[in-house]
Amino acid sequence: MIEPTAFLGFLLAAFTLAIIPGPGILYVLARTLRGGRREGILSTAGTGIAGLIHTLAAALGVSALLATSAIAFTIVKWMGVAYLIYLGVKTLLDQQGIADNLNLETSFTPKGALRQGIIAEVLNPKTALFFLAFIPQFINPAGHIFWQFVLLGTITTLLTLFGKSSKPFSQTQYAVTASSALWFGHRAHKFRRLCGN
What is the C-alpha R_g of the chain?
19
* Range with lowest mean pLDDT among 13-22, 79-88, 159-168, 182-191: 182-191
Q: What pLDDT, on the 0 to 100 scale, is given for residue 105?
A: 44
CA dihedral sign, ordered 174, 178, 184, 185: positive
Question: What percentage of the chain has pLDDT greater than the value 90?
Answer: 18
Q: Name which residue leads in pLDDT, 97 or 1.
A: 1
pLDDT > 80? residue 168? no
- Which one-letter amino acid corresponds to residue 103? N
Q: Measured between alpha carbons, how far is 117 from 87 in angstroms, rounded to an integer?
A: 23
Report the distance separating Cα 23 and Cα 126, nearest Å. 10
Residues 30-79 have pLDDT tens digits of 777 777 778 888 888 998 999 999 899 888 986 666 667 888 778 877 88
CA distance 95 to 154: 29
Is the pLDDT at 10 greater than 90? The verdict is yes
CB distance 88 to 12 below 8 Å: no
